[in-house]
Structure 1
Amino acid sequence: MEQIGLEVLLIFVLLLINGLFSMSEIAVVSARHVRLQKLADEGNLGAKAAIKLTESPDRFLSTVQIGITLVGVLLGAFGGATLAFHLVPFVEKIAIFKPFAREISFGLVVLIITYFSLVIGELVPKRIGLNAPERIAALISRPMNFISKMTAPAVWLLSESTKALLKLLRQKKSDETSVTEEEIRAILIEGTTEGVIEKTEEELMKNVINLDDQSISALMTPRTKIAWIDLNDSSEVIKKKIENSPYSRRLVADKDLDNIHGFIKAKDLLDLYLSGGFSNIRSIVKNPIFIPETTSALEVLQNFRDSNTHLAVIIDEFGSTQGIVTTNDILEAIVGDLPFDGITNESAVQREDGSWLLDARLSNTEYRDVLGMDELPEDEFGMYETLAGFVIKRLEKLPATGDRFDWGAYSFEVVDMDGTRVDRVLVSPKEI
């Protein structure tokens, strides 16, 4: 009985060794290079060794197969020949099985060993390897490297034989597989399902990926809806166009939109008007960029960055204007439709006389965009983040209802206070 116990123990150890090889194989194959590299950068020596294993898959897989094959041979030798011999006397006690006792004993041993080999030597280890591939790969990589060196001649023979056979089959060695767009989308969906990524984050990242596939013509303001100024318009007509349009930038053309001269900012128009009218409107015209209608949204975004411009004219193959696009259009393609300038109607209300009633909580960027202001004084920018902060800085005291001051082309008046907090500010163009 003692001998049988030792043989069973030996078979169990062989099954564990087989499981170790199986777990190593699935862990290294499934481990993500980016995660291994991160562990290696943190000083994990096992991760560095695992990266080397992934760079030489033929050598690693040959080592694993040598180990698994050797274990299989030993299991067959000890299981079939030894345990079956000990099982024969028990089977012979059953009269009907006595003539076939050896065959039945051998079959039972093979069946039992196969079961435990699948469970202990394959399924459970591989499941463990899949659950934490990078951690397992880093843990077993150095022992596997050692085994690989010990079995180097056999590994070399198997590797070269594999390469020769693949060459005969005309199977070329594939380059390292790059991450595809579909894989990134799948990872986003998986991350959202598991709660690692928020749904909003998933949508934003998907929209960013879509930019390169989206034609700018789908995002542009079409020609029929462009707010523009004709160089031949009278000052009164230009003034009415400005009053009826909420945009901070407008195209300037000569008679029609196929003769575009550029665009102008609302602030520059106001400054020009306050200095004597619109007679010299050409002096404030800025050059836009012209982009073919087949250009992707991502390329347009890159053009905006390179040219430091926020407006582009979209043209067709004949040079005819099809529409315009701004940085805000690109932003909406990523985050979805936004209210005007990202501000609610209650936060920024334009009155009939052209003045603005603004919520004092508007950020510097928001109220500057509404008013068409280029920038705040350099020595003050960064000292406050909202319109209320700007008002307090200019007044140099705690504001009160009725306090007012002029800055640039505008007059600012505090019209509502909520205790000590500035609530509403009326901003009007300065009278000439």
Structure 2
Amino acid sequence: MVDVLIILLIIILNGYFSLAELALVSVTTEELTEGNLAQNTNAIRTLKLIKNPEEFLSAVQVGTTLLGLIEGIYGGSVVAAGLEHWLSGWGVPLYFAHTGSLILGIGSITYLTIVFGELVPKSIALQFPLKVSLIIAPSLVIFSKIAYPFIKLLTYSTHKILELLAIKTPEHKKISENDLKKMLGTAYNQGLLEKKQFWMHENVIAFKNRTAFSIMKPARITLTLSSAWSTAQVKSLISKKPYAYFPVISEDPHTVTGILKTKTFLLSNDDDWHDSIMDSYEIDSSLPVRDIFTHFKEMNKDFSIVVDAHQKFIGILTMQDIMEAIFGDLPELEDYGKYVKQRSEKVWVAEEFIHLQRLRTTLSLDWIRPYEAIYLSVGELLRGEMKSSPILEINGVKFQWSTEPAHESQVVITLP
């Protein structure tokens, strides 16, 4: 009976080390430093363990190897001897009783070890890594001190072998963009984030890849003022389209000479509207949006002129455009519905700058949402996804550039 209890104890201890190994590998630094856990003694011990993975893995390996040796030498012979005596009592020939007892003895111990010493503990550790880590940390620290010489030898050997293989051990595991996306997806699937919150977080991740060109309002649909206009002409246009700012151009439509702030103009008593013109703030079309946002804050700006590599005026960009890149389309004076037109029952035509969000809501294309985390506009979608074929087909919907000479920047959308 004592022998059986010893074997069961060995299996339980094996399960303990399996539990400890997977729990410590699965738990994260963020989980151990949240809220009240930041001052928790066991959490601090666990942090020390996971910061030196080679040491705790060596401790676990020492434990499991030692138990495996004891189990193999002691367990097999003890159980086999008992089974051999039992089989002989049933009249089984001595040779077959001896062989059968070894097979049954080793087989039963192996089964119990796999189930209760490996699978069950590891399943528990995967489901509750934080709780398990906090519970086992104190005892594993004690065992590490007892087996210190062996652990140091194993850790040193591991480092040297990794050096020979030219593999560097990182001090801290860095979270990649894909890791962050997976965590957000998990949070959404578990109900921790609502759909709109999930979408907004995806937009924030994609924000770093946006440039001025990708979110600007193109020059061809921007209302501009001619420097040759009279004050009456300017007032007439502003009364119809009361935007906050207007680019001012000269004879060359690709060159902006300044901007007119509507508020300043309306509050001015000057008869000549040219006196209200301010210097334009120009940005390169390739400038990352995150840098533009920083510049806007530092310079107290909310409007800019976008120019290309040749200093040619190609669009305007406002603080609202930046906000829309994160929060989606916001209410504005411009009626963008006129840039998405229905040509027939199944065919629509959209300007390339139309946001995918607007396209999704207008045409009820719910499947397009994942692409919004990568591309802002329908034009970006085509440039990014279209390969050698002139037609991009996704979920039965066909996208292609217009072949009409005057409308080459338009996208023709054919529904299934």
Normalised TM-score (structure 2): 0.76
Counterpart in 2 of 1:422?
Answer: none
Counterpart in 2 of 1:235?
Answer: 231
Q: CA distance change for structure 1 residues 342 and 115 in 2, over 3 Å: closer, same or farther?
A: farther
- Between the aligned partners of 2:167 and 2:205, the Cα distance in structure 1 is 34
Counterpart in 2 of 1:338?
Answer: 330
Instruction: Verify: 1:13 aligned to 2:9, yes or no.
Output: yes
Counterpart in 2 of 1:325?
Answer: 317
Instruction: Verify: 1:151 aligned to 2:147, yes or no.
Output: yes
- Between the aligned partners of 2:36 and 2:270, the Cα distance in structure 1 is 68
Contact 1:289/1:311 (<8 A) preserved = yes
Q: What per-residue deviation string (whole Å, max 9, x for no partner) do you get for residues 96-147 of structure 1?
A: 6643211211111111111111111111111111112122212221221111
Instruction: Verify: 1:247 aligned to 2:239, yes or no.
Output: no
- Between the aligned partners of 1:76 and 1:39, the Cα distance in structure 2 is 45
Stretch deviating more after TM superposition (160-169 or 101-110):
160-169
Residue identity opposite 2:317 in structure 1:
V
Counterpart in 1 of 2:258?
Answer: 262
Residue identity opposite 2:134 in structure 1:
A
Aligned-partner SS, 1:252 = strand
* One of 281, 305, 311 as aligned partner of 1:313: 305
Cα deviation for residue 40 of structure 1 reads 6.8
Stretch deviating more after TM superposition (300-309 or 150-159):
300-309
- Between the aligned partners of 1:18 and 1:342, the Cα distance in structure 2 is 69
Q: CA distance change for structure 1 residues 308 and 36 in 2, over 3 Å: closer, same or farther?
A: same
Contact 2:27/2:133 (<8 A) preserved = yes
Q: 1:30-429 alignment to 2 at 5 Å?
A: 30-38=26-34, 42-93=38-89, 98-272=94-268, 275=269, 277=271, 279=272, 281-340=273-332
Cα deviation for residue 16 of structure 1 reads 1.2
Structure with the greater alpha carbon radius of gyration = 1
Q: What per-residue deviation string (whole Å, max 9, x for no partner) do you get for residues 323-368 of structure 1?
A: 001111112222222222699xxxxxxxxxxxxxxxxxxxxxxxxx
Contact 2:23/2:133 (<8 A) preserved = yes
Residue identity opposite 2:128 in structure 1:
A
Residue identity opposite 1:302 in structure 2:
T
Cα deviation for residue 41 of structure 1 reads 5.5
- Between the aligned partners of 2:179 and 2:334, the Cα distance in structure 1 is 33
Cα deviation for residue 82 of structure 1 reads 0.7
Deviation >4 Å, runs of 4+: 93-98
Q: What per-residue deviation string (whole Å, max 9, x for no partner) do you get for residues 246-286 of structure 1?
A: 312212233344442332222222212xx354x1x343333
Contact 2:38/2:44 (<8 A) preserved = no
Cα deviation for residue 170 of structure 1 reads 3.3
Q: CA distance change for structure 1 residues 234 and 283 in 2, over 3 Å: closer, same or farther?
A: closer
Q: What per-residue deviation string (whole Å, max 9, x for no partner) do you get for residues 156-204 of structure 1?
A: 1111222233333333324533111111111111111111111111100
Residue identity opposite 2:332 in structure 1:
F
Contact 2:306/2:317 (<8 A) preserved = yes
Q: CA distance change for structure 1 residues 317 and 276 in 2, over 3 Å: closer, same or farther?
A: closer
- Between the aligned partners of 2:252 and 2:151, the Cα distance in structure 1 is 77
Contact 1:288/1:309 (<8 A) preserved = no
Structure 2 gaps, min length 5: 336-416
- Between the aligned partners of 1:231 and 1:138, the Cα distance in structure 2 is 72
- Between the aligned partners of 1:164 and 1:89, the Cα distance in structure 2 is 50
- Between the aligned partners of 1:111 and 1:129, the Cα distance in structure 2 is 26
Aligned-partner SS, 1:312 = strand
Residue identity opposite 2:204 in structure 1:
V
Contact 1:212/1:299 (<8 A) preserved = no
Stretch deviating more after TM superposition (178-187 or 263-272):
263-272
Residue identity opposite 2:57 in structure 1:
L
Normalised TM-score (structure 1): 0.73
Aligned-partner SS, 2:156 = helix
Stretch deviating more after TM superposition (201-210 or 40-49):
40-49
Residue identity opposite 1:16 in structure 2:
I
Residue identity opposite 2:263 in structure 1:
K
Residue identity opposite 1:76 in structure 2:
G
Cα deviation for residue 45 of structure 1 reads 0.6
Structure 1 gaps, min length 5: 344-432
Residue identity opposite 2:306 in structure 1:
I
